[in-house]
Structure 1
Amino acid sequence: MTTLADPGPVFAALADPTRRSVLTRLAAEGAASATTLARELPVTRQAVVQHLAVLDAAGLTRAHRHGREVRHEVRPEALTGAARWMTTIARHWDDRLAAIAALAEEPEPS
């Protein structure tokens, strides 16, 4: 089995619905500040900053300064890595299920 990066931090970050909403908004609308994101969410700006810190630690977003504003944008590489991990796991399960099906379909010895 190929060694893949641990997707745990990505899945942990995506487990929270507010973080998923933040990531979805960034993906759909492009880079934004915490203030801009907070206007569209039912949480405070401080809460958005904390959610962005978790997304950043998981490699899902990155921050860059744009004048006096810090803007956040999506980093798709972490999502690609998590998707690759899920594909690998799915392939192994498919192989196992195919082996079980082959055993179940073997004719019984007479």
Structure 2
Amino acid sequence: MPEAATIDTVMRTLADPTRRAVFERIVRSDEITVSELTRGSLVTQGAISQHLKSLKRAGLVAERPEGRNVYYRAKPEGLAPLVDWMSHYGVFWRDRFADLRSLLKEIDP
């Protein structure tokens, strides 16, 4: 069983715009092959395969071999480190906005 990805791994993986676009296409599909991902993109099949390798290593996609094809699907749980990190800051900003709202009420009765 692979070790859970860290926030750094997930962020670094999704920082590349092409890789993020590949991930978004996978998310919009139930399952998709490398050739389907390559079709309609300006990226070579080899490059798509490398991006898939990074996404898989980060725990963001899973693969299912079937005959000569390998099908990829998104693993929502792979985004957990990012979601956890963002939820921490969501609380921070909600508190700050509540403080700002109170201050504005005091200034303008």
CA RMSD of aligned residues (A): 2.4
Judged with a 3 Å threshold, the aligned counterparts in structure 2 of structure 1 residues 81 and 34 are, in CA distance, closer, same or farther, namely same
Q: Determine the structure 2 residue equivalent to 1:28.
A: 28
The one-letter amino acid of 1:47's match is A
Could you tell me how far 1:96 is from its partner in structure 2?
A: 7.0
Q: Determine the structure 2 residue equivalent to 1:80.
A: 80
Could you tell me how far 1:68 is from its partner in structure 2?
A: 1.6
Could you tell me how far 1:44 is from its partner in structure 2?
A: 0.3
Judged with a 3 Å threshold, the aligned counterparts in structure 2 of structure 1 residues 7 and 71 are, in CA distance, closer, same or farther, namely same
- The number of residue pairs the alignment matches comes to 102
Q: Which whole-Å deviations, capped at 9, do the CAs of 1:28-62 have from their partners, x for residues lacking one?
A: 12211111101121110000000000101111001
The one-letter amino acid of 1:55's match is L
Task: Tell me, in whole angstroms, the C-alpha distance in 2 between the residues paired with 1:34 and 1:72.
Answer: 8
Gaps of 5+ in 1: 103-110
The one-letter amino acid of 1:64's match is R
The one-letter amino acid of 1:27's match is V
The correspondence of residues 1-110 of structure 1 with structure 2, limited to 5 A, is: 6-92=6-92, 95=95
- Taking structure 1 as the reference length, the TM-score comes to 0.75
Could you tell me how far 1:83 is from its partner in structure 2?
A: 1.1
Task: Tell me, in whole angstroms, the C-alpha distance in 2 between the residues paired with 1:52 and 1:40.
Answer: 17
- Taking structure 2 as the reference length, the TM-score comes to 0.76
Task: Tell me, in whole angstroms, the C-alpha distance in 2 between the residues paired with 1:28 and 1:94.
Answer: 30
